[in-house]
Amino acid sequence: MISRRKFLKKSSEACVAIAAASGGLASARSEAVDQSIANKGQRAQQAFEIRCDSARADTLLDDSASNTNGDEERYADRRANFAKTLPHNERGEVDARSYTEFVSILSRGDPDQFEQVPRDPHAAAKLNNPQATYAFDLVGIDSHATHLPPPPTFASRQMAVEMAELYWQRLTADVPFRGYETDPLIAAAVSDLNAFSQALGSSPVGKIPPDRMFRGETAGDLIGPYISQFLWLEVPYGIKTIDQRYRFPGPNQHFLTDFAEWLSCQRGAQPSVKLQFDSNPRYICSNRELAEYVHQDFSFQTYLNAALIMLRLGGEALSPTNPYRGSRTQFGDITFGNKNVLSLLGQAALLGQKSAYYHKWLVHRRLRPECFAGRIEVHLSGRNSYDIDHAVLSCDGVARAKAAHGTYLLPAAFPEGCPTHPSYQAAHATNAGACATILKAFFNEDYPIPHPVEATADGLDLVAWKGQPLSLGNEINKLANNVALGRNAAGVHFRSDSINGLLVGEEQALGLLCDYSRTYNERFSGFVLSTFRGEKVKIAGGRLQTV
């Protein structure tokens, strides 16, 4: 079978050959051909060449294969891999033969075979779209050409500190973000996580302050309130305005803390309980609300809202390179205007989703946090022995979970637990990275948000933010991290799933912008934006360069 990379290259070479042939035919046409038909042919030729240029550029990308962390080959019991809905034993370990058959079906990609994936007799849930890993797209970077480093290994200290962070995110779910600097439970989390010899994300070892707890890793994440303005401000939506207060679950709800309930979940059974929601709507004010927000959102919803908010700010909020800024006779609409940015958000999210599912299903198949917590429970209760790093086994967060719920299991935010697809990378994060990159390309990152706000501790109201100014670029980055790490707050992803997912989404969006930068008629100096790593890049004429 021809490889995906060779297939794309051959398709590109075919484009070049056909373009050359059609160019020869065009030059041989009679001068008597009607001018309107000639013009139409020229337009078609231009469109064809633009598409071929995009295809050629894709084949020139670095096609180094994605590396795994080796856990799947390392453990015969597949302790480190996703296996939800497959047959499990009484310790929550997947049947090895069923797992091998499952991977074989994934690897072959035969659509008829996916109906033969082994299932636990208790399973009611279905696997989430594994065939998306084989889908192509007509714009942007091919999903199989995106780059993702391997996740931390099962037995590593990095895995241990990421898992400890999740216990604390769940233990502090009801602590208001505004209270982090004075809350004793947050202080305990800070002390516990700072005791690890492995750094958590980009924080220096032992240096996480209370006001940085659980935040993202861009400069914008550390400025202003924990939550981005775009999750609080009113959203103009056609002829009405959307108030961003929602009905959220009440406090102190935790799931999958009973081992029988947890095992049933791994086997894919339907949950027997439901979330209970408060009657009064409120703004996002703690991880309780944030976790539910990212439980119910659709892929580009949050960034659509952000774009609508920014479009209302007027022309000065648009990117300085927008060719219509200062024009006396015209304004952008289908190009460089609202229709352009809003439609690209949906495209970027879909590209990001395809990349996430490729890495999830076909490369890494990393276990979910709830499953790792099951390994901790089985290990500490003496039912089996795993090579889990001692730092997480002995940390205060795990001990407090045991004291509160009677097991070492991770208290989940959702009755159904994690989704039915692997953990690495996070799809929410990849969508966030892709959509945030589109927003930064179309809007002025340095524009200060007028009249910024923050939610009260109870979430019932918004009050004026009195701290340092908040810029669009910083708040877009914060928005992406709020959504990505909000999934961590729910207990369904690790930090490395989310932070690395943002970067893959960014890579996809930059490729999408490269393709579209070839298509405009306007005199346009290029999209200029800052990456999540803080680099300034420019995209013009299909080329990406650092500036």
Shared-domain flag, residues 47 and 143: no
Residue 394 forms part of a structural domain: yes
Of 217, 218, 219, 232, the C-alpha closest to 178 is: 232
Higher-scoring residue by pLDDT: 382, 18: 382
The model's pLDDT over 86-137, given as tens digits with 9 standing for 90+, comes to 999 999 999 999 999 999 999 999 999 999 999 999 999 999 999 999 999 9
Shared-domain flag, residues 258 and 393: yes
CA 494 – CA 82 distance, rounded (Å): 13
| Interval 16-34 mean pLDDT | 46
Q: How confident is the model at residue 229 (pLDDT cuts 50, 70, 90)?
A: very high
Of 245, 241, 211, the C-alpha closest to 226 is: 211
Q: How confident is the model at residue 28 (pLDDT cuts 50, 70, 90)?
A: very low
List the single range of 55-64, 116-125, 309-318 with lowest mean pLDDT: 55-64
Q: Phi first, then psi: give them for residue 539, nearest 5 degrees.
A: -125, 120
Residue 84 forms part of a structural domain: no
Shared-domain flag, residues 249 and 359: yes
Shared-domain flag, residues 49 and 148: no
- Three-state SS for 139-201 is CCCCHHHCCCCCCCCCCCHHHHHHHHHHHHHHHCCCCCHHHCCCCHHHHHHHHHHHCCCCCCC
Structural domain containing residue 37: 4-59
Shared-domain flag, residues 25 and 138: no
Shared-domain flag, residues 184 and 50: no
CA 492 – CA 291 distance, rounded (Å): 10
Shared-domain flag, residues 55 and 136: no
CB–CB of 459/246 below 8 Å? Answer: no
* CATH number for position 469: 1.10.606.10
Domain end, chosen from 13, 32, 59, is at 59
Residues 6+ apart with CB under 8 A from 296: none
CA 312 – CA 498 distance, rounded (Å): 30
- Token couple for 206: 């032992």
- Token couple for 73: 């080959």
Of 149, 379, 373, the C-alpha closest to 263 is: 373
- Quote the percentage of the chain above a pLDDT of 70: 92
458: left (phi over 0), alpha (psi -120 to 50) or beta: alpha
CA neighbours closer than 13 Å in the CB half-sphere of residue 84: 32
- Quote the percentage of the chain above a pLDDT of 90: 87
Residues 6+ apart with CB under 8 A from 178: 225, 285, 454, 455, 456, 457
Question: Is pLDDT at 215 greater than 80 in this prediction?
Answer: yes
Shared-domain flag, residues 165 and 270: yes
Give the model's pLDDT for residue 212: 94
Q: How confident is the model at residue 342 (pLDDT cuts 50, 70, 90)?
A: very high
Q: Which amino acid is at 42?
A: Q
Shared-domain flag, residues 291 and 371: yes
Q: Using a CB cutoff of 8 Å and minimum separation of 24, what contacts does 379-382 make?
A: 380/408, 381/408
The model's pLDDT over 415-451, given as tens digits with 9 standing for 90+, comes to 999 999 999 999 999 999 999 999 999 999 999 999 9
Residue 18 forms part of a structural domain: yes
Shared-domain flag, residues 52 and 171: no
Q: How confident is the model at residue 478 (pLDDT cuts 50, 70, 90)?
A: very high
For tokens 């990421």, the residue is 162
Question: Is pLDDT at 466 greater than 90 in this prediction?
Answer: yes
CB–CB of 62/147 below 8 Å? Answer: yes
Shared-domain flag, residues 9 and 147: no
Mean pLDDT of the chain: 93
Q: How confident is the model at residue 152 (pLDDT cuts 50, 70, 90)?
A: very high
Q: Which amino acid is at 247?
A: R
- Token couple for 38: 């000639």
Residue 104 forms part of a structural domain: no
Question: Is pLDDT at 33 greater than 50 in this prediction?
Answer: no
Give the model's pLDDT for residue 38: 57
Residue 200 forms part of a structural domain: yes
Shared-domain flag, residues 425 and 511: yes
Q: Phi first, then psi: give them for residue 236, nearest 5 degrees.
A: -70, 125
Distances (CA, A) of 547 to 61, 446, 471, 539, 544: 20, 17, 21, 10, 10
Buried b (16+ CB within 10 A) or exposed e, 63-100: beebebbebbeebeebbbbbbbbbbbeebbbbbeebbe
Higher-scoring residue by pLDDT: 13, 374: 374
CB–CB of 122/264 below 8 Å? Answer: yes
Residue 111 forms part of a structural domain: no
DSSP states along 493-529: --HHHHHHHHHHHHHHHHHHHHHHHTS--S----EEE
Distance of CA 328 to the CA centre of its chain: 40
Q: Specify the number of domains making up the chain.
A: 2
Residue 86 forms part of a structural domain: no
Q: How confident is the model at residue 35 (pLDDT cuts 50, 70, 90)?
A: low
| Interval 34-44 mean pLDDT | 68
Residues 6+ apart with CB under 8 A from 138: none
Residue 330 forms part of a structural domain: yes
